[in-house]
Structure 1
Amino acid sequence: MSSPYRCPNCKTNRSRFNIIKQISQSVKLNPQSGEVIEQYTDNQLVPFHLPYKGPEYKVQCASCGLIEDERTFIKFGEQQ
């Protein structure tokens, strides 16, 4: 988060953003009710249950509301 951001949607916002930290939780759900049957830790994942490999942060433009990966805002912030 030490790089300049710029919103790729509204193209003017360079200062107002919401940083969203993503915390994944691995679970097994009941297919009929949606109730959580089992929760897994990263060390105890069962076969066919892949660990989360997405971005650690998402960023929301506080002007227009666009939510994207942090890299998108950083890349657009590098452009003049």
Structure 2
Amino acid sequence: MPQVYRCPGCKTNKSRFNMIQQVSVPVKKDPHTGEIVSEYSNDALEPFHLPYKGPELKVQCATCGMIDEEKSFAAFGNMDMQ
């Protein structure tokens, strides 16, 4: 469903945005070298390796550069509608 956005940072931009799709890749790194030792799927994580639960989409204002969750831009955009 389409969302009306307005930047909560600069408060003026209503039309120029960058949509950032986040892709989580669960990995295990060597604590001494920083090399990736293992890469997992979200279905087969080791114990004590929590799955990513953050937003799949973030939005960047293409005017001021602010980055936040989509719901912040949508909530600020809906304030105009009320």
Q: Which interval holds the TM-score relative to the shorter structure?
A: over 0.9
| Number of residues of Structure 1 aligned to a counterpart in Structure 2 | 80
Residue 47 of structure 1: CA displacement? 0.4
Which structure 1 residue ranges, 4+ long, deviate > 4 Å from structure 2? none
Residue 73 of structure 1: CA displacement? 0.2
Q: What TM-score, normalized by structure 1, do the two folds share?
A: 0.96
1:17 aligned residue: 17
2: distance between equivalents of 1:38 and 1:78?
44
Q: Counterparts of 1:1-80 in structure 2 under 5 Å?
A: 2-80=2-80
2: distance between equivalents of 1:71 and 1:6?
11
Q: Which runs of 5+ in 1 are unaligned?
A: none
Q: Which runs of 5+ in 2 are unaligned?
A: none
Query: Aligned-residue CA RMSD in angstroms?
Result: 0.9
Higher helix share: 1
Counterpart code for 2:55: P
Q: 1:46-72 CA deviation, whole Å, 9 max, x = no partner?
A: 100011110010000000000000000
Counterpart code for 1:10: C
Q: 1:22-56 CA deviation, whole Å, 9 max, x = no partner?
A: 00000000111111000000111010001111001
2: distance between equivalents of 1:71 and 1:43?
27
Q: What TM-score, normalized by structure 2, do the two folds share?
A: 0.94
Q: Percent of counterpart pairs with the same letter?
A: 56
